[in-house]
Amino acid sequence: MSLPAKTATKPKAIIGVSLKMYFGYQRTLDYCREVATIAFAHPAVQNGEIELFVLPTLPVLPEAARILGTAGAATGAQDIFWEDEGAYTGEIGGKIVAELGGRYAEVGHAERRRIFGEDDDVIGLKTAAAYRNGLTPVLCVGEPVRGTAADAVKHCIREVEGVLNRAASLGPARRTIVAYEPQWAIGAPEPASPEYISAVSAGLDAHLRTLPGQADSRVIYGGSAGPGLISQLDTAVAGLFLGRFAHDPKALKTILDEAAARQGLLSGTAAA
């Protein structure tokens, strides 16, 4: 007799959504309710085949965690500070994110690098803060300008190693989700080509999982990702990190269906 699907410990696909600062409080709650309804009815989310999370603006986190948690999805923060508490006016530590029900912490997004001047050292400190508070860091990396896939792999590996080496200097590593987001594709009308995404992600994934403590870590793609993309990607791309193309819950459902269909082909079982 096969074990119940709920015993699965390693989801085969990862779908994340960052709402950035687009939605107000009430609209975010409405969105989370719609996503929860979709997640609750989606077999691939319910049986652990898809790991689904939403990162709202921080004031909504406690209620979002309650709403999404009842449907087998999760939530987290779009940023954390590198210290857990102290005289850091306006900052939010990983300790309180976890206390509020968050399970993820996005770090290193290109906007934070560009607008706030964050470098690999700062992002490494934030990654360490995520680890020690039991949060899964969603580490964003990506080349600033379009070039060859080989050059992009080298750039991303340098960023990943810079961040994770700094984090390792402060404590043991944990599972990391690396979001490959080429900076030139963020906000663009279309993502990078499937061939380009697959080549970069495969190289990055192979290297990532050789690093200490990262055997269970995976690479997902962000950067104008939307419906129709995941089915075209190599299996080294574990999933998608979505922005504006997931603001419509119907589009998110389509992506979940596409991810489930891809998994069905991989596992030899019928897609839900």
Report the candidate in 201, 213, 239 with the shortest Cα–Cα distance to residue 53: 239
Q: Is the pLDDT of residue 111 over 80?
A: yes
Domain 10-265, CATH: 3.20.20.70
How far is the C-alpha of 222 from the C-alpha of 191, rounded, in Å? Answer: 8
Catalytic residue among 49, 109, 155, 258: 109
Respond yes or no: is residue 181 known to be catalytic.
Answer: yes
Residues facing residue 180 across a β-bridge: 141, 221
Mean pLDDT confidence for 77-90: 98
Q: Give residue-wise pLDDT tens across range 209-268.
A: 999 999 999 999 998 899 999 999 999 999 999 999 999 999 999 999 999 999 884 443
pLDDT at 188: 81
Alpha-carbon radius of gyration of the chain:
17
Confidence at 5, pLDDT banded by 50, 70, 90: very low
Respond yes or no: is residue 195 known to be catalytic.
Answer: no
Catalytic residue among 49, 51, 106, 181: 181
Token digits of residue 269: 């079982």
Q: Give residue-wise pLDDT tens across range 172-208.
A: 999 999 999 999 988 888 778 999 999 999 999 999 9
- Cα torsion 212, 106, 53, 249 to 10°: value is -140
How far is the C-alpha of 133 from the C-alpha of 66, rounded, in Å? Answer: 19
Q: Is 107 helix (H, G, I), strand (E, B) or coil?
A: strand
